[in-house]
Amino acid sequence: MMLPERKPSGREKDAAAVALLAQLRQKLHSEEISLARKAAFNLSWMQEDGLDILVEALFGNFPRDTKKAAAYGLRSMNGRMHKLAEAALTKGLASSNRLAKDACAKSLQLMREGPAAPKPSFAKKFQRPRHPGVREFRNRGPARDQFQRRDTRRER
């Protein structure tokens, strides 16, 4: 997918930062959702520039996977950007785009409630002991205390 060139914000320190942001932006719009989520997580560490790119992807005319990855990146933001990301997701609830609205609603729910608790596994609940009939008894009875060595060789 060919993306229009992004105008640098002026906050980047050097050309390497601009190149990295362009690369992450390209990966965010990838067809593969796992690659897009990784790029969104990396953009969540990029402060204002990452926020700009993620908000652009969330509210732009892009596929559902890109919007979900952008919402994931916004909810992964930490520090002072957390409130700005939450405000962007809240703004997305009023969006006319159904895909953006759904992604924002799910992301806000996960931010507020956290992930669901894991359900107990069926296999662990009804697990049998491995060797039910084998038991070991140590030092029980007088026969164990009076150990005598048997000499099997006969002396000639």
Q: How confident is the prediction along the chain (156 residues), in pLDDT tens digits per residue?
A: 667 777 666 666 678 888 899 899 999 999 999 999 999 999 999 888 999 999 999 999 999 999 999 999 999 998 889 999 999 999 999 999 999 999 999 999 998 888 778 877 665 656 666 666 766 667 666 555 555 556 666 665
Whether 95 is covered by a domain: the verdict is: yes
Whether 96 is covered by a domain: the verdict is: yes
Whether 5 is covered by a domain: the verdict is: no
Instruction: Give the integer Cα–Cα distance in Å for 145 and 147.
Output: 6
- CATH code of the domain containing 68: 1.25.10.10
Whether 122 is covered by a domain: the verdict is: no
Structural domain containing residue 32: 15-116
Instruction: Give the integer Cα–Cα distance in Å for 43 and 154.
Output: 84
Instruction: Give the integer Cα–Cα distance in Å for 35 and 57.
Output: 15
Whether 6 is covered by a domain: the verdict is: no
Whether 137 is covered by a domain: the verdict is: no
Q: Count up the domains in the chain and report the number.
A: 1
Whether 25 is covered by a domain: the verdict is: yes
- CB within 8 A of 84, min separation 6: which ones? 51, 77
pTM: 0.68
Residue 14's SS3 state is: coil
Whether 49 is covered by a domain: the verdict is: yes
